[in-house]
Structure 1
Amino acid sequence: MKLTILGGGGFRVPLVHGALLRDNSEGRVTEVVLHDLDEARLRAMSRVLTQAGAGVAHAPAVNATTDLDEALRGADFVFSAIRVGGLAGRTRDERVALDLGVLGQETTGPGGLAYALRTVPVALDIARRTREVAPDAWFINFTNPAGIVTEAMQAVLGDRVIGICDSPIALARRAIGALGLDSSATEIDYVGLNHLGWLRALRVDGSDHLPELLADPAALLTLEEGRLFGPEWVRALGAIPNEYLYYYYFGREARAAILAAPQTRGEFLLDQQDAFYAAVAEHPETAAAEWRRVREERDATYMREARAEDEERDAADVAGGGYEGVALAIMAAISRGETSSMILNIRGAGAVPGMPDDAVVEIPCDVDADGPHARALAPVEGHMLGLMQQVKAVERLVIEAATTGSEQAAVKAFALHPLVDSVSTARALFEGYRRAHPELAALFAPH
């Protein structure tokens, strides 16, 4: 079975490869093809993967190419983790917003919208090539903003595009662990959009155990989310929010912390990864060991702006991750008929009352040989549904702007986002991003 990884020179690729190395079942992936436009990064990641797989009898063959059609041809699954504009583009996304006094974060708020505007056209080109070269492949999208990119690509590839994220399942796993429940017997009720969702219930034999956790401040504080939001706010919500909702519920504090930091997250990662790729080029024999060292540092500093100065992430949180496991579970369920339950970004098809049937939402699914099937969910009420509807409307405006070059749709998207405080600011954001990114200057050039 052939797996193609787009963005194959990216830093997180070894996580996917590591999951493949742990899979010794029949029908496993036997060939991994890395695709990237950066040959130096492809060489570096090929070395990391080759060294990591040394001595593993069933390690898949690793090949690399800069030719997209070559990478796609014959693929059974395509995993996408591209970053249009690279980390340099991310730093501009962050700084344009921060300079206007607005949250600068790569997937949440205006930075995420700018990222989507330049990513959607590229993602659609990839979708069209996939339809031509590998029409039977399943496409697993991890490219951010995952919800927007997945919905845009579905216009070309339909339901064969599945969006994944590690945040929801990591949250559910932590909560299940805090309650001491059996994960295999626990039904998870989670609802939202990518990077905007809530864990609403954890049921065993029809009985919801989440209220027990919400009523126990000490237990809540053992969770990353409990420390982020505080037990009182979590209890008031009656649900545990995805960590990215920190930027909505504590926007002032998040903005102040990011502005006070010597670097944005993007600037930190840019420096760190430039050093990593340079080190691998100079000492290729240490590629895998250097990757492991840098990865630990990267994970330990994740969402630093949301924690106290002396607060470190728990080892379980650092190791939590999980998107690579989700990707492997999807491939196993579809290719081998190993039915599995997981939280994915898929077309809701009526599963979430109040949301358009064709909207991509992040919800629990059952996945089998025919792909994912949404579970019907209890109604979403109050501010949760309102926030989902507003952000989904913004996401769809972004797709419209990215596919038509409509300046009006782009400005409207910025203006209607809950984290942008005025239409004037939205216009300034649009102009700032158009100046900062050549891709957007070309997309929105006067005709």
Structure 2
Amino acid sequence: MKLTILGGGGFRVPLVHGALTSDCGVTEVVLHDVDAARLAAIAAVLAGRPGPPVRTATDLDDALTGARFVFSAVRIDGLAGRTVDERVALELGVLGQETIGPGGIAYGLRTVPVALDVARRVAAVAPDAWVINFTNPAGMITEAMQQVLGERVVGICDSPIGLAARAARALGVDGPVVPDYVGLNHLGWLRGLSVDGVDRLPELLADDARLATIEEARLLGAGWVRALGALPNEYLYYFYRTREAVAAIRDAPQTRGEYLCDQQERFYAAAAAEPATAWALWQQVRDERDASYMAESRDAAGAGERDAVDVATGGYQQVAVALMRALSGGPPATMILDVRNGTAVPGLPSEAVVEVPCLVGPQGITALATKPLPLGMLGLLQQVKAVEQDTIAAAVTRSAELALRAFAGHPLVDSVGVAEQLLAGYRARLPGVAAVLG
């Protein structure tokens, strides 16, 4: 079975390859990237490593033809683009983060056309493939690609599964749990956690000591998560503690994008110079990267260091491989995924991509129905989904007016005037946005 990884020169690709166990059915991995030097560096990292054989390709059709699964993890304008996503917003006093708020809109504007081109090539040369989307903003890009490939595109994120696992550990539960999770990508809540048919989340929310072991509760405060009656996804920190988040990112010596850009430039240069040491170099850089994730927000909130078990257990690569295994004839599984809503989340359009528990098996993916959301949660989802859909439409129609509406409509942008400046700044400083909107 052939697996193609788009964005195959990306730093996190070795995590995916390392998760491909012998029972997942993959016999060939093709890494595709437009940057041959990055491909060579990642190939050097993987040289001699356990797992299925790997080859590289810079031709898209060559990489896709005959694939059973396609993992899509592309980054238009590279990490340099991410730094612009962050800085244009911060210069205007608005949150600078690559997937939340204006940065996510700019990222989506330049990524949607590329994602649609990829979807068309998949339809042409690998029509039976499943596309598992890692590309951010994951919900938006998955929804755009579904316009071409329908429900054979599914988005994944490790944040909801990690949140449920942290809640289970805090309760001392080692066995299976049933999470009641609902939202959009990077915007959702764990509303319940059933163990043997009993919801244990109220017990957890009432216990300060147990809550203190959960990073999301430390970020947002025990009092606030109790007021919500739910554990929010970690990215809701940016919505619920916006002023603190903006101040922390603005005052940091580097944005996250700048940090990663500098770090990865050094890694790729060193791997090219000494391919024999590429694996050791990659491991060192990965450890630094994992430990520093959301560091400025944790510092501002007094949340402390990341829990060692969270760093050690990894993330989205395990989700992707488990999904692939279930779709390929392995045991059916229930997973939290980004899929077409249908009627799963009342109050959102049927075509909207939502992040909810799903039943996965050889027959495909079925989104499971969720209980109605309180108005405050539903309203936030509706507002952000409207922004995502405006961004997709702006990218498809090359409409600056729709792009402006997306920026102005986001709950983290407080003025149409600021939205106009954001749009002008991104058009001026991001080649990918300029190419779409002119």
The answer on 1:326 being equivalent to 2:322 is: no
Q: State which of 86, 100, 110 in structure 2 corresponds to 1:108.
A: 100
Aligned to 1:33: 30
Structure-1 separation of matches of 2:349 and 2:92: 33
CA contact (8 A) 1:51 1:287 kept: no
Question: For 1:20-99, what aligned pairs fall within 5 Å after superposition?
Answer: 20=20, 23-25=21-23, 28-53=25-50, 59-99=51-91
Aligned to 1:254: 245
Question: For 1:155-234, what aligned pairs fall within 5 Å after superposition?
Answer: 155-184=147-176, 186-234=177-225
Q: How many residues are aligned here?
A: 436
Q: What's the CA shift string for 1:219-257, capped at 9, x where partnerless? A: 111011121111111111100000000000000000001
Q: Deviation of residue 177 (structure 1)?
A: 1.1
Structure-2 separation of matches of 1:183 and 1:141: 29
Q: RMSD of the alignment, in Å?
A: 1.1
Aligned to 1:56: none
CA contact (8 A) 2:249 2:297 kept: no
CA contact (8 A) 1:338 1:368 kept: yes
Q: What's the CA shift string for 1:109-150, capped at 9, x where partnerless? A: 000100000000000000000000100000000000000000
- State the SS of the aligned residue for 2:94: coil
The residue identity in structure 1 corresponding to 2:41 is: A
Q: Which moved more, 1:175-184 or 1:335-344?
A: 175-184
Aligned to 1:141: 133
Structure-1 separation of matches of 2:435 and 2:127: 30
Q: Deviation of residue 272 (structure 1)?
A: 0.2
Q: Deviation of residue 207 (structure 1)?
A: 1.2
Structure-2 separation of matches of 1:378 and 1:205: 19
Q: Deviation of residue 331 (structure 1)?
A: 0.9
The residue identity in structure 2 corresponding to 1:42 is: L
- State the SS of the aligned residue for 1:52: coil
CA contact (8 A) 2:76 2:432 kept: no
Structure-2 separation of matches of 1:114 and 1:270: 18
CA contact (8 A) 2:77 2:431 kept: no
- State the SS of the aligned residue for 1:235: helix
The share of aligned pairs that are identical, in percent, is 65
Structure-1 separation of matches of 2:174 and 2:292: 30
Q: Which consecutive unaligned segments of at least 5 residues does structure 2 have?
A: none
- State the SS of the aligned residue for 2:392: helix
- State the SS of the aligned residue for 1:344: strand
- State the SS of the aligned residue for 1:144: coil
- State the SS of the aligned residue for 2:49: helix
Structure-2 separation of matches of 1:133 and 1:99: 44
Q: Deviation of residue 213 (structure 1)?
A: 0.5
- State the SS of the aligned residue for 2:419: helix
Aligned to 1:294: 285
Structure-2 separation of matches of 1:223 and 1:51: 38
Q: Deviation of residue 24 (structure 1)?
A: 2.2
Q: Deviation of residue 206 (structure 1)?
A: 2.3
Structure-2 separation of matches of 1:372 and 1:10: 28
CA contact (8 A) 1:173 1:183 kept: no
- State the SS of the aligned residue for 1:336: coil
Q: What's the CA shift string for 1:403-439, capped at 9, x where partnerless? A: 0011110000000100000000001100100001122
The residue identity in structure 2 corresponding to 1:37 is: V
The answer on 1:118 being equivalent to 2:116 is: no
CA contact (8 A) 1:224 1:317 kept: no
CA contact (8 A) 1:80 1:140 kept: yes
Q: What's the CA shift string for 1:39-67, capped at 9, x where partnerless? A: 011001111112332xxxxx211000100
Q: Which consecutive unaligned segments of at least 5 residues does structure 1 have?
A: 54-58
- State the SS of the aligned residue for 1:170: helix
TM-score (norm 2): 0.98
Aligned to 1:373: 366
Aligned to 1:397: 390
Q: Which moved more, 1:436-445 or 1:346-355?
A: 436-445
Structure-2 separation of matches of 1:107 and 1:319: 24
Structure-1 separation of matches of 2:253 and 2:297: 15
The residue identity in structure 2 corresponding to 1:192 is: G
Structure-1 separation of matches of 2:140 and 2:188: 15
Q: Deviation of residue 442 (structure 1)?
A: 2.3
Question: For 1:380-419, what aligned pairs fall within 5 Å after superposition?
Answer: 380-419=373-412
Aligned to 2:230: 239
The residue identity in structure 2 corresponding to 1:114 is: A
CA contact (8 A) 1:167 1:321 kept: no
Question: For 1:342-353, what aligned pairs fall within 5 Å after superposition?
Answer: 342-353=335-346
Aligned to 1:8: 8
Q: What's the CA shift string for 1:289-321, capped at 9, x where partnerless? A: 111110010010001121127832221122243
The residue identity in structure 1 corresponding to 2:193 is: L
Q: Deviation of residue 96 (structure 1)?
A: 0.5
- State the SS of the aligned residue for 1:51: coil
CA contact (8 A) 1:72 1:133 kept: yes
Q: Deviation of residue 205 (structure 1)?
A: 2.9
TM-score (norm 1): 0.96
Q: Deviation of residue 171 (structure 1)?
A: 0.6
Structure-2 separation of matches of 1:263 and 1:82: 23
Structure-2 separation of matches of 1:429 and 1:157: 32
